[in-house]
Structure 1
Amino acid sequence: MPLVTTKEMFRKAYEGGYAIGAFNVNNMEIIQGITEAGKEVNAPLILQVSSGARKYANHTYLVKLVEAAVEETNLPIALHLDHGDSFELCKACIDGGFTSVMIDGSKHPYEENIALTKKVVEYAHAHGVVVEGELGQLAGIEDDVNVSDEDASFTKPEQVYDFATRTGVDSLAIAIGTSHGAYKFKPGQKPQLRFDILAEIEKNLPNFPIVLHGASSVIPEYVKMINENGGKMPDAIGIPEDMLRQAARSAVCKINIDSDIRLAVTGTIRKYFNDNPSHFDPRQYLGPAREAVKDMVKHKILNVLGCDNKA
């Protein structure tokens, strides 16, 4: 089975009331952990690459690793560019084998966002690739994305139909209260997704796939594992999983998860070295890290996304 686009995935997800997990990948072990979990529960997957991951691991290596995962699992897997910030980057990924790209023009004025997104859509669609656009800005830090609380803004429901029809995007990332990174909320601040905004967006843009970025739950056990083994992470509050499950039952067809993967890997490796200070074989600590990713992804598929047995 070759790499696929998200078009059929999202159609089924919208109709079935579930979401597809979009998991950020940086190396072989993370890709293996995610796809082994997907295979065990028969779930479709989106493996997404940020510009930072592309710089770190090299475009060609990542594409070949994802293609190997498809061959090993025979799952429907889309390879997606996360937060592409320019036409040139999106074009390079389209030309280099990605089946989906995101063009994030949300930092630009509205009309400039439309013009940039439309340019990417025209090129992508001519090459059989689908495009995700973004309206509204999430606060937080993730790789090259850095938006302060002051600059963050909710998506305006009155703009979504105009944006989607004028650009031709295939899915739309919105801002309704999620946040990038592990430090999503200030101490004492209660996480809250604006389901009222989501309902208005659904009303104004019916039967259209919606995307949530910054949707890691910052699993406490991994934060605790890091801190008990030499780390100094402050208590972090992520998006409650029941809220994400509620979103997945609506028009939200894609939920992005990155920080939970990083925490699982880091916590497991820190614990391994604390328990085995003289070991130096990378296989000895990357193996358990891969298993931690696998367990976390299975949990997300079964308890949050609801896309098990949907491959």
Structure 2
Amino acid sequence: MSLVTMKYFLEKARKNKCAVGAFNFFGLENLRGIIKAASSKKSPVIAMASMGALKVMGLDVVVSAARALSQEYETDIVLHLDHCTDMDLLFMCIDHGFTSVMIDASDKDYDENVRLTRLAVDYAAKTGCSVEAELGHVGGVEDNIVVSEREALFTVPEDAEKFVNDTNIDALAVSVGTVHGFYKLPPKLDFERITAIHTRTAIPLVLHGGTGVSDEDFKKAIGLGILKINVGTELKVHGYFDVMKNTSLAVKDSDPRKVSTAIVDACASIVSTKIEVFGSRGIL
């Protein structure tokens, strides 16, 4: 078993009319839980490291751990760099064995976003690494933001078509009503926008901000062209902090291994549930 590209998994998802879950990990326990769930469900997964996670864990450690766990659980996975704004780090991740990267220049103007994305695409071509980029902007949960302001950050279908043609990316992250973090109110996805973008681009679309979206909305979005769904906050809070707090209080013999085991199991449970919702169980 080995690390495979995001493009490879997303083509499988397209053929099977499902989506691949992409899950952030913050330590070895999270990563093990993600891959354990993938193996048990015979499902593709994308394990995502943020720039912050790499600073804590170390680049070589992350790549080595992903490869080792892929072999231990006898399942292929994608190792993905999430929301990277540092081109030097992105190049280093490609050189060290990441099989997918996301260049995030969504806060730049269109021409600069294209320029940076093209740099990522051209560099990744030498290893076959997949490249994801973002057009529009999926922000965090913000108080006092009105609908018109949020919609101003949404991906414009006509711009998406041009961006894909200008960059030759493998997947496009779109802003269609989700945000990073927990929602104060149920999110309202713009399904008509997803349809319009999918019709114009015909490449895999990515939904960021998957924590808190209803199962019904996930399934509808998948049917309209979403092939990759990112989940991070749920793993961080419910799969790590809550488990650490509750298990630490319950453990009487000061055995940290019990806390680590509980984190692995909690993350595996969250990922397993999402795999069922996304429809990817059994396609490997």
The TM tier, using the shorter chain, reads over 0.9
Runs of 4+ in 1 over 3 A off after TM superposition: 146-152
**Residues 177 and 239 (structure 1), Cα distance of their counterparts in 2 relative to 1, 3 Å cut:** same
Matching residue of 1:209: 204
**Residues 70 and 148 (structure 1), Cα distance of their counterparts in 2 relative to 1, 3 Å cut:** farther
Provide TM-score, normalisation by structure 2: 0.93
Is the counterpart of residue 283 in structure 1 residue 257 in structure 2?
Answer: yes
Which one of the candidate residues 238, 254, 257 is aligned to 2:231?
257
Matching residue of 2:3: 3
Q: Give aligned-pair identity as a percent.
A: 35
- Please state how far the C-alpha of 1:86 moved relative to its aligned partner: 2.8
Matches within 5 A, 1:1-311: 1-140=1-140, 149=145, 153-182=153-182, 184-185=183-184, 189-206=185-202, 208-216=203-211, 238-264=212-238, 265-276=240-251, 278-302=252-276, 304-311=277-284
Partners of 1:190 and 1:8 in 2: CA distance: 33
Corresponding letter in the other structure for 1:3: L
Q: Deviations over 1:63-119 (max 9, x none)?
A: 111001111122121111000113212101101110110001100001110111011
Alpha carbons 2:16, 2:283 under 8 Å: kept? no
**Residues 251 and 204 (structure 1), Cα distance of their counterparts in 2 relative to 1, 3 Å cut:** same
- Aligned pair count reads 279
Partners of 1:199 and 1:64 in 2: CA distance: 39
- Please state how far the C-alpha of 1:54 moved relative to its aligned partner: 0.3
Corresponding letter in the other structure for 1:203: T
- Please state how far the C-alpha of 1:25 moved relative to its aligned partner: 1.3
**Residues 30 and 190 (structure 1), Cα distance of their counterparts in 2 relative to 1, 3 Å cut:** closer
Alpha carbons 2:186, 2:213 under 8 Å: kept? no
Specify every segment of 5 or more residues in structure 2 that has no aligned partner in the other structure, as ranges. none
**Residues 200 and 147 (structure 1), Cα distance of their counterparts in 2 relative to 1, 3 Å cut:** farther
Q: 2:125 is paired with a residue of what secondary structure?
A: helix
Provide TM-score, normalisation by structure 1: 0.85
Bigger shift: 105-114 or 283-292? 283-292
Partners of 1:205 and 1:129 in 2: CA distance: 20
- Please state how far the C-alpha of 1:130 moved relative to its aligned partner: 1.1
- Please state how far the C-alpha of 1:269 moved relative to its aligned partner: 1.9
Kindly report the root-mean-square deviation, in angstroms, between the aligned alpha carbons of the 2 structures. 1.8
Q: 2:35 is paired with a residue of what secondary structure?
A: helix
Corresponding letter in the other structure for 2:280: C
- Please state how far the C-alpha of 1:241 moved relative to its aligned partner: 2.1
Alpha carbons 1:212, 1:255 under 8 Å: kept? yes
**Residues 86 and 242 (structure 1), Cα distance of their counterparts in 2 relative to 1, 3 Å cut:** same
Partners of 1:174 and 1:269 in 2: CA distance: 33
Q: 1:128 is paired with a residue of what secondary structure?
A: coil
**Residues 190 and 287 (structure 1), Cα distance of their counterparts in 2 relative to 1, 3 Å cut:** closer
- Please state how far the C-alpha of 1:296 moved relative to its aligned partner: 1.2
Corresponding letter in the other structure for 1:250: L
